[in-house]
Amino acid sequence: MLKKNRAAFIVEHLNFHYEETPIPLSHTNNFELLIAVLLSAQCTDERVNRVTPKLFELANNSFDMQNVPVNEIYNIIRPCGLAPQKSKAIHNLSLILVEKYGGEVPNNINALETLPGVGHKTASVVISQGFGQPAFPVDTHIHRLAQRWGLTNGKNVKQTELDLKKLFPRDSWNKLHLQIIFYGREFCTARGCDGRICKICKTCYPNRKNAFKAKKP
């Protein structure tokens, strides 16, 4: 099966399973989304959603968050892991948002990437889910599945993102990114599928005899 044919089948199959793509991280504004995505690094969305209500009750905007002591933020977000770094990042980015952007989250991926604790993937998620701009954030699920499905060589996350953007229409990126994550969690899991078990893997590579080992990000 040619790559373009694999891509077409994947879109069709994902649309069948996930017509709706609700944003996994609970939030009520773009500041909350930014903080939730930052916290989700090396942490599950479920755990983040258990932690953020208490944090956002304390402060759900940059003006209030800049006044919350780092140790207080730390005590709330400890269950998310990397709490020392994340608590400092949340405090410092709040100061920067107030000082440089009038307290608002910037609608610009390059500006977002200059904020403490915000890398390309986090910025891409905020641009995509917060502002509705086309982006294709690549997390570990997407990096793994794109390789299993023969959509990229998996050289690195940056290359995977470029390959997916070339392969799929720009107006499909935001929805497709979430669909792949959902499918990776439900059907094509890291341990539950070895490249020969889920429907997409079996359809794209029906003659695959050995377990597929994806390159890590």
Question: Domain spanning 3-20+136-204 has what CATH number?
Answer: 1.10.1670.10
- 10 Å CB burial of residue 170 (0-12, 13-18, 19+) is exposed
Task: List active site positions.
Answer: 121, 139
Under 8 Å between Cβ of 134 and 174 = yes
What is the structure's pLDDT at 141? 87
Q: Residue 67: its pLDDT value, please? A: 98
Q: What does the pLDDT average to over 45-59?
A: 98
Check whether 217 has a pLDDT greater than 80.
Answer: no
Token code pair at residue 86: 């994340």
CATH code, residues 30-131: 1.10.340.30
Domains of the chain, residue spans:
3-20+136-204, 30-131
**Are 90 and 117 contacting, i.e. CB atoms less than 8 angstroms apart?**
yes
Kindly report, residue by residue over 143-167, the tens digit of the pLDDT: 999 999 999 998 899 999 999 999 9
135-138-140 Cα angle (round to 5): 160
Alpha carbons 138 and 127: distance in angstroms, whole number: 13
- What is the reported pTM? 0.93
DSSP code per residue over 25-54: S--SSHHHHHHHHHHTTTS-HHHHHHHHHH
How confident is residue 140, by pLDDT bands cut at 50, 70 and 90? confident
Q: What is the pLDDT of residue 93?
A: 98
Q: What is the pLDDT of residue 144?
A: 94
Which of these, 28, 27, 29, lies nearest to 105 by C-alpha position?
Answer: 29
Model pLDDT for residues 119-133, shown as the tens digit of each residue = 999 999 999 999 999
